[in-house]
Amino acid sequence: MNKKLSLMMAALIAAGYSVTAEAGIYKVTAAGEVVSGQKYVVAVDKDNALSAEGAALSTKAFDPASNDFLWIVDGSTDFKLKSVSNDGKFVTQNTITAALGEDGTPAAALFTNATRASELKTATSGATDFVITGTPAFADGSGADAFLHIATTPLHAKTADGSFVYVTIDGKYAVCTGTTNVIYLDGTTIAMLGLQDKAKFTVSADGEILSVSESGYGISQINTSAITLTNTNPPAIEKDANNAANDQVYTTVISSGVSSKVTDASTFALTSTAPSEAPQVPAGALAWTNGTTGVLYVNPAGDATTEKAVKNDGTLENSGVGNAALTIKLNADGSYSLFDGNAQVKLASEVSFNIVKEGNGFIAKKASGEFLTIKGTTLAWKNASTISDESVAVFSFSKGTLQAISAADLAKIENGGITLTASYDNGKTDIKGNPFTGFLTVVDLGGNNFNLKSGKKFIIGRKDMIEGAGTVAWGFTTVDKLSDMKDGDLAVFTAQTYAGEVNPSEVVLTLTGTGTAGTVGYYKVPDAVYMGAGASPKTVTFSLGTGTLAKWQDVLQKGKFFTVEKISNYSADNAKAEGYLVATGKTNTAYGYNKTVRNVLEGEWALTLNDAKDKYVLTNRETPEVTFEFVGVNSLYTTTSEYTYVSGADKYIITPVANHAATDGYKTLDQLEMQRFNIGSYAGVYDNTAWFTENHGEDKDAEYHVIGLNIDQEEGLIYEAIAHDQKRDKDHAVTDSIYVVSTIGYYNAAINNYDEVLDTLKVVSYTFKNQYNEPLYVKAADADFSKITYVSSAKDVTKATKFTLRLDTDNTLNLRPVDLDETTGYNTFDTSKDFNKAYAGSSLNKGLVSSTDLYEREENDRFVVAPLAYEMYRRLENAVQGTSLDTISIFREGNNKEVLFENGQFLGMNNQVQFPAIAPAMVVDSAYAPADTYRPQYMLMVEPNYVPAGKWCPEHGFNPGCSHEQDIEGYTEGRYLVNLKDTAIAWEDANKHGGINPYTNTEGYVKLAFVPAKHIKDTLIINSDNNKLTVNTAAFNEAKFAFRYVDATAKSFVIETADFNLTGKDAGKIKTTPGYLKWMNGVIVVVDNIKNADVYNMTEDYEGNPTANEGINASSVSVIAGNGVVTINGAQGKKVTISNVLGQTIANAVLSSDNATISAPAGVVVVAVEGEAAVKAIVK
């Protein structure tokens, strides 16, 4: 009988599903279908049925809603018919008369047993045949016409919209893959292949069971192995409407109501449970893990009992003792392969496949989407269109059989020993006398024999320690040394692990020796459970490892570096905090533990897995040459503390670095144009710094000045730092920065596998140039900088060693010289030559000698690169750009009467006592003087005028109110002091055949003059040629000046400005080094060496009037510019030449008067009087 259907029918009836108008009747014609006590219909056909309506017999059309048509069969052989609607009334017989009455006089008709499956008859002589056509009666020879019928009703009520039922045959779902094609699959296979919709059915109001995917097709036939579909009047699928014990299924022709019994529907069932992924594997199966070795079992999805094993040729066999052990290997693309030793095993011709975890099973899937299926002993790759009656194959691994493990291999599990957790009876741990806890050291005695030590004590077995064991048994205790053992004590163990596990998870211990004890287990005595060994102990499970194995998926973190701290022998009395893991060299063995980390990078590590995916690999972030296998993936266990793990006897704190940046570990200097630096050696013992200086007295080579040390910072060299951080220019130039690329492993959930990501450390190198334009240079005898002297290159300014500024403790630095390879795509640290750092000597005279590796922990390797701690240039507080100007007077230091002034055409200097008419006042206009620049720069002018913002028209002037007017910015105008390099070069170009350049002195140094210009916002515009000079940057130009201190206390200074090349291919280009003002032969010129500069001082907020010195000249000849004319006094009889700034002659005459006036165009002109220095005049 179909128990599932019977239960379902009972539930449906209990839920109120009863006979409906669409019900049919089934004529009973087979023996055994009539059961005493059940309800039937007595009828010829559906239109002629026996009724008890009105307490009288009649023949009417069958009404399934009325109990008048139901009759109970009363009797196990011959039987009576008892009315359902009239309690206690039967079909009675009085010869030929049939009536409804009590079983008395007349008596109830007794129908023969034989008529249960044929026309109803009695044994009454002369009236045997029960005839209901017409008036119900008994007759003899007329032919009985009434049969027993079963009233049927739909097996399932009409499904609501959006609801479905599912048909199963022998537990598998029916899946409609075509109009009449049906296959039978388990729920997991259907779900994984996406066939759920094809398994859906609905039930009509008439009871038809119709396919959802094959519209119009419904079930027409049912048997033990299949259903049949038709689109031609599918019948109603029905059940007995009145007898729950009858679990037969019927098909009813809807048009006639005639039902037929399904021959065998014992495997047929309806369910509302949709197919889903629920693979089943045998209990105790291992997870699918890279490196696992064991027996690979295959079960059809949803069937945990039908089990096959994969042979080493990839085919299947029955599971048993002799099954092959295969190994799982994770491939680089995330797929898996199987190996028998080194031989790859194919599964249905495939050597690699992906693994999908479903439930507690693992399923193989090809990249094309096909799943590995099983049917009997055949494996095949199938998809939704090719599947027939196969099931998705579900993998599981078994530990296999126990096998002996050598003492040496046992010790390797956890770095010299094993960590055991003992349990019994499904996880209970309350075992007394148990020394097998925590980390145990394995003492290898050779072969499979070993001692076990807990801390410093040996574990031994002692006989008869367990009272009440009921047998000879050894309990366990510990001794300090084996010589403390008593007679009969045993201390030698052997062990077994499961053959299928590469990384054992459990171990079975045996105590051996004279009077062999046997397997270690437990004995239950009246008051407790005790650990023991001997005859037939109960099983103890010794789990290997401390607590929960750390999942590599949790340990690794995407994009994170780690620090590693170690506590050795953490559970023992001699536990030791080793400190942080740091790189100590440049090879894969150069690492160790230190209490402190001087540079964060030496203690930061990238964490990955090795190729076999069974070991963690640590790689130093700064020096990736330091890389090594750390601990086994299967020997690192979690603890209750975050990021804290144990492996063997050691505890590790593996902490992700919370935040890291590409610039970690190395100092980056910024705003280099605005700063200058001192470099010094820091001595932590004295908390003092000795600053780089030059030992000229020790020079052995005129090309170099040896670097020494001086504790007075103001005596130190002043360095400009140049960053080498140029970005890559497509394929034309490599980047200047140094890159260290780290590979970081992590679990990629998108591919459900191990993956890696790159992280880049970027290090900028710097060169340093002192105030004498001498670069800091390593004069090295060895290519790896191991024996070097730090010098200033006095001759070759291109000899500059590049340094990286490696951070040390207390924000000090290691100076790490590097030699960049300009030919590669990007620079890296080359450990063959870039693995040293500067080492400071302690003597001013002996200089600095570097001979220490990068990770040597020296005290004299710490330096500082500090912005100047003192003012290097004089700042004029009253001159604020865009806000205020200041009037000053500049004089020679030591003689405030020797003043700078406009001496005719050029800037000159003379004695104000000798020439009291000199007007030394000049206006200071701020050019570039932000608060954070080391070198504020200013412009100097005379005859200042401020033009406020307003309107301007080229035709009508300022604020004309005309339609042409435009907004203009406010600006300052006057005659600004500029370097006349352009005029000097133009004169040379115009006078190729010789002559004396009036714009340079006899030594070739260029002169300076005041020229009309406008200072508008950030630009100085020269009126004569509309040349625009940007003034708000740190770079010098011909109109900007800075006052560099000589004595900050006295506020004396040299005047620093731009210096230019005057000849050659670079004529007109600014030099990399500044120039300085010097008085030479009556005029001020720009010289190229600070040592030759004049020292000045100034009076700020000077009360003089900054007007032109038009009538002042310190010589006997004077030149005065007027409106359209030049007046020359004191030059009677001398030749005078007047030319413009391009050298073109405007006038040329011999003067006949001491007061001669010569016409000249407006602008700058050059007046050369015979015997006098040429002067510049500005004609108005």
Is residue 206 within 8 A of residue 257, CB to CB? The reply is: no
Comparison of pLDDT for 182 and 318, the residue scoring more: 182
pLDDT band at 979 (very low <50, low <70, confident <90, very high): very high
Residue 154 has pLDDT above 90, yes or no: yes
CA distance 919 to 940: 14
Q: Distance between CA atoms of 867 and 977, rounded to whole angstroms?
A: 31
| Spatial contact of 968 and 1005, defined as CB atoms under 8 Å apart | no
Chain-wide mean pLDDT for the chain? 86
Tokens encoding 542: 């010794």
Q: Is the pLDDT of residue 375 over 50?
A: yes
DSSP per residue over 1074-1103, as a string?
-EEEEEETTEEEEES-GGGPPPEEEESS--
User: How does pLDDT run across 11-23, given as a tens digit for each residue?
Assistant: 334 333 344 445 7
pTM score > 0.75 for this model?
no
Residue 338 is predicted with a pLDDT of 92
Confidence label for 547 from pLDDT (cuts 50, 70 and 90): low
pLDDT digits (tens, 9 = 90+) for 688-725: 888 888 765 544 555 667 777 888 888 888 899 988 87
Classify strands 719-724 and 473-479 as parallel, antiparallel or unpaired.
unpaired
Looking at residue 379, its pLDDT comes to 96
Which has the higher per-residue pLDDT, 330 or 1166? 330
For residue 803, the cross-strand partners are 766, 817
Q: Is the Cβ–Cβ distance between 1178 and 1011 less than 8 Å? A: yes
Smallest CA-to-CA distance from 496 within 462, 544, 547, 432 is with 544
Alpha-carbon distances, residue 1120 vs 282, 903, 1113, 1123, 1175 (angstroms): 115, 11, 9, 10, 10
Dist CA 247 CA 833 (whole Å): 90
Q: CA angle, 236 as apex, 233 and 241 as ends, to 5°?
A: 160
Kindly state the average pLDDT of the residues 195-218: 96
* Interval 432-443 mean pLDDT: 92
What was the pLDDT predicted at 844? 46
Quote the CA–CA distance of 833 and 7 in Å, as a whole number. Answer: 85
CA distance 490 to 512: 7
pLDDT tens-digit profile of 264-297?
Answer: 999 999 999 999 877 666 666 666 778 777 788 8
Domains of the chain and CATH, by start:
18-153 (2.80.10.50), 156-271 (2.80.10), 292-398 (2.80.10.50), 406-544 (2.80.10), 552-656 (2.80.10), 676-725+764-867 (2.80.10.50), 886-1099 (no CATH), 1118-1179 (no CATH)
**How far is 987 from 994, CA to CA, in rounded Å?**
10
Rounded Cα distance, 545 and 818, in Å:
47
Three-class secondary structure of residue 982 per DSSP: helix
What Å distances lie between residue 894 and 177, 876, 982, 1090, CA to CA? 110, 20, 34, 19
**C-alpha Rg value of the chain to the nearest Å:** 54
Residue-wise over 1009-1044: b if at least 16 C-beta within 10 A, else e?
bbbbbbbbeeebbbbeeeeebebeebebbbbbbbbb
The strand pair at 1125-1129 and 1155-1159 is best described as: antiparallel
Range list of β-strands (E), 971-1073: 971-979, 1008-1016, 1019-1022, 1028-1030, 1041-1047, 1052-1057
Q: Supply the DSSP symbol for 69.
A: G
**Could you count the other beta carbons within 10 Å of the beta carbon of residue 334?**
15
Segment 824-832 shows an average pLDDT of: 79
Mean pLDDT value across residues 1005-1020: 92
Measured between alpha carbons, how far is 186 from 35 in angstroms, rounded to an integer?
A: 37
The β-bridge partners of 689 are: 682
**Closest by alpha carbon to 739, among 606, 667, 619, 828?**
828
- Give 919's pLDDT tier (boundaries 50, 70, 90): confident
- What per-residue confidence (pLDDT) applies to 11? 39
d(CA 714, CA 731): 45
Q: Which residues contact 419 (CB under 8 A, 6 or more apart)?
A: 438, 439, 440, 544, 545, 546, 637, 646, 648
Share of the chain above pLDDT 70, in %: 89
The region of weakest confidence among 355-364, 379-388, 648-657, 1167-1176 is 1167-1176
pLDDT digits (tens, 9 = 90+) for 165-174: 999 999 999 9
In angstroms, rounded to a whole number, what is the distance separating the alpha carbons of residues 599 and 612?
Answer: 32
DSSP codes, 492-546: EEEEEEETT-SS-SEEEEEEESTT--EEEEEEEETTEEEEEEESSPBP-EEEESS
Q: What type of residue sits at position 319?
A: S
Range with the poorest average pLDDT among 324-328, 586-590, 864-868, 974-978 = 324-328
pLDDT at residue 1155 greater than cutoff 70: yes
Query: Residue 885 contacts by C-beta under 8 Å, 6 or more apart in sequence?
Result: 878, 879, 923, 924, 925, 944, 972
Query: Bridge partners of 608?
Result: 617
Q: Are 756 and 744 in contact (CB under 8 A)?
A: yes
| Top-ranked range on mean pLDDT: pick from 4-18, 108-122, 385-399, 928-942 | 108-122
Q: What's the whole-number mean pLDDT along residues 796-813? A: 85
Task: Classify 882 in phi/psi space as left (phi over 0), alpha (psi -120 to 50) or beta.
Answer: left
pLDDT: which is higher, 387 or 957: 387
Q: Looking at 46-50, 641-645, 889-893, 1144-1148, which range is the least confident one? A: 1144-1148
Q: Which helix (H) or strand (E) holds 438?
A: strand 438-444
Q: How far apart are CA 608 and CA 318, in angstroms?
A: 40
Report residue 1161 as tokens.
Answer: 């165009």
pLDDT at 1078 over 60: yes
Q: Are 155 and 207 within 8 A, CB to CB?
A: yes
- What is the pLDDT, as a whole number, of residue 1013? 92
**What's the per-residue H, E or C state across 766-816?**
EEEEECCCCEEEEEECCCCCCCEEEEEECCCCCCCCEEEEEECHHHCEEEE
DSSP string, 470-493: SS-EEEEEEESSGGGPPTT-B-EE
Task: Decide if pLDDT at 730 tops 50.
Answer: no
For 77-112, b/e burial (b = at least 16 CB within 10 A) is: eebbbbbbbbeebbbbbeeeebbbbebeebebbbbe
Contact 6, 245 (CB under 8 A): yes
Report the 3 state secondary structure along 659-714.
Answer: CCCCCCCECCCCCHHHCCEEEEEEECCCCEEEEEEEEHHHCCCCCEEEEEEECCHH
Average pLDDT for 43-69? 95
Tokens for 965, please give them.
């007017």
Residue type, 149: H
Which tokens belong to 655? 């902490």
For residue 389, the tally of other CB atoms under 10 A from its CB is 11
Q: Using one digit for the tens of pLDDT, what is the confidence trace for 77-105? A: 999 999 999 999 999 999 999 999 999 98
Strand 172-176 and strand 852-853: pairing? Answer: unpaired
State residue 685's pLDDT score. Answer: 59
In which band, very low, low, confident or very high, does the pLDDT at 732 lie, cut at 50, 70 and 90?
very low
Instruction: Match 């605005």 to its residue by tokens.
Output: 674
Lowest mean pLDDT among 284-293, 535-544, 806-815, 944-953: 284-293
Among the listed residues 690, 1108, 786, the one whose alpha carbon sits nearest the alpha carbon of residue 920? 1108
d(CA 1071, CA 1089): 12
Whole-angstrom Cα distance, residue 341 to residue 325?
9
Helix or strand (DSSP H, E) at 3:
helix 3-14
Distances from the Cα of 539 to the Cαs of 404, 492, 499, 524, 605, in angstroms? Answer: 18, 20, 19, 11, 44
Q: Report how far residue 1115's alpha carbon sits from residue 568's, in angstroms, rounded to the nearest whole number.
A: 92
